[in-house]
Amino acid sequence: MKVFSGIQPTGEPHIGNYSGGFRQYAATQEQGEAYFCIVDLHAITVGHDPKELYDGTLDIGAMLFATGLDPERSTVFVQSHVTAHAEAAWLLGSVTSFGELRRMTQFKEKADQQEFVSAALFGYPTLMAGDILLYQTDIVPIGDDQRQHLELTRDVAERFNQRFGETFRIPDGVYPEAGARVMDLQEPTKKMSKSFGTEAGKVLLMDDADTIRRKVKRAVADSGREVRHDLDEKPGISNLIELMTVATGETIQEVEARFDGHGYGDFKEAVGEALVALLTPIQERYRELRSDPAELGRLLAIGADKAREASAPTLEAMYERMGFAQPS
């Protein structure tokens, strides 16, 4: 079983990224040959600051190991260190239609936020398709916001296979049962996001304990008193219930049963404490890893070597089947 997922080294990671990303990576690495990529080429699809990109790459590297990736077991690497990704994106661009890319919700949402809409933002999904397909991936652990991009990846892979012969395995997305779409604490009908919403709406993985408690306490609740999961009637409380499942590993039903008869105040306090308990040891490991950039660089260089070797045969097959003359 081959596993692949990517995470952008931009902005400060939040509990949504943990739920749909980091925690799933640590769990799926047990299932087979796993590749986790810091997708720095994706980070330049919207205006970026070079120093922030540089620092963010090391920050995310440290966070991947701090949240449980084992460098012996998983291949953790930086996308731009493996040039096959940029090459595969260009080749796959020829089997991806303008109409498909134009329909991508994330493109429309992000384009609305930019004064300068780059061609790179438009082509983002072909880069992501290449990331995944280069490794003959079986499963892709992601959050719900990436569902549409994964569907496009499957369509592009099928089209390439039909046109040029069987080349890619068709990957499946893996989404968490609860917490696949963590919502903004202040606007619980919108996804928690690095680029949208206010600071108060997201729990950052590096927030200190008091900040976490305060943000959860001030999270928008719903009318009524019952701690019950109901996305239509109670989006705010449902979101907090899902955050509790992320922090403790309980099911939604177990959380509901535990807080049966309790008010929102008690419940919010408990969610805050559970998140503090989850994040405090992660933050300690993160600080330790981040204070040693040379060691981090060494681990990422080992990952890049392994990723280059693993992706090379697929890239070679793509060139060959598409008719590019190869040096003999």
Q: Which of 88-96, 190-198, 241-249, 291-299 is the region at the interface with ligand AQP (rule: CB under 6 A)?
A: 190-198
* Interacting positions 165-184 with ligand AQP (CB under 6 A): 180-182
* Nearest approach, Cβ of residue 151 and ligand AQP (Å): 14
Check residue 29 for interaction with ligand AQP (CB under 6 A): no
Binding of ligand AQP at residue 236 (CB under 6 A)? no
Of positions 8, 67, 75, 96, contacts ligand AQP by CB under 6 A = 8
Phi-psi region of 78 (alpha: psi -120 to 50; beta: other; left: phi over 0): beta
Write the Ramachandran bin of 201: left for phi over 0, alpha for psi from -120 to 50, otherwise beta.
Answer: alpha
CA torsion, points 179, 181, 184, 185, in degrees to nearest 10? -20
Under the binding rule (CB under 6 A), the answer on residue 79 touching ligand AQP is no
Neighbours of 136 (CB within 10 A): 17
Residue of 191, 215, 234, 268 marked active site: 191
Phi, psi of 327 (to 5 degrees): -65, 140
Q: Which residues pair with 37 in a beta bridge?
A: 6, 77
Confirm whether 190 is a catalytic residue.
Answer: no
Q: Using alpha carbons, list the distances in angstroms from residue 290 to 66, 79, 284.
A: 9, 19, 10
Candidates 189, 195, 198, 280; binder of ligand AQP (CB under 6 A) is: 195
Is 145 one of the binding residues for ligand AQP (CB under 6 A)? yes
State which residue, 7 or 156, has the beta carbon closest to ligand AQP. 7
CA dist 296 and 290 (Å) reads: 7
Enumerate the active-site residues. 110, 191, 194
The contact set with ligand AQP (CB under 6 A) reads 7-8, 10-11, 16-17, 19-21, 142-143, 145-146, 180-182, 191-195
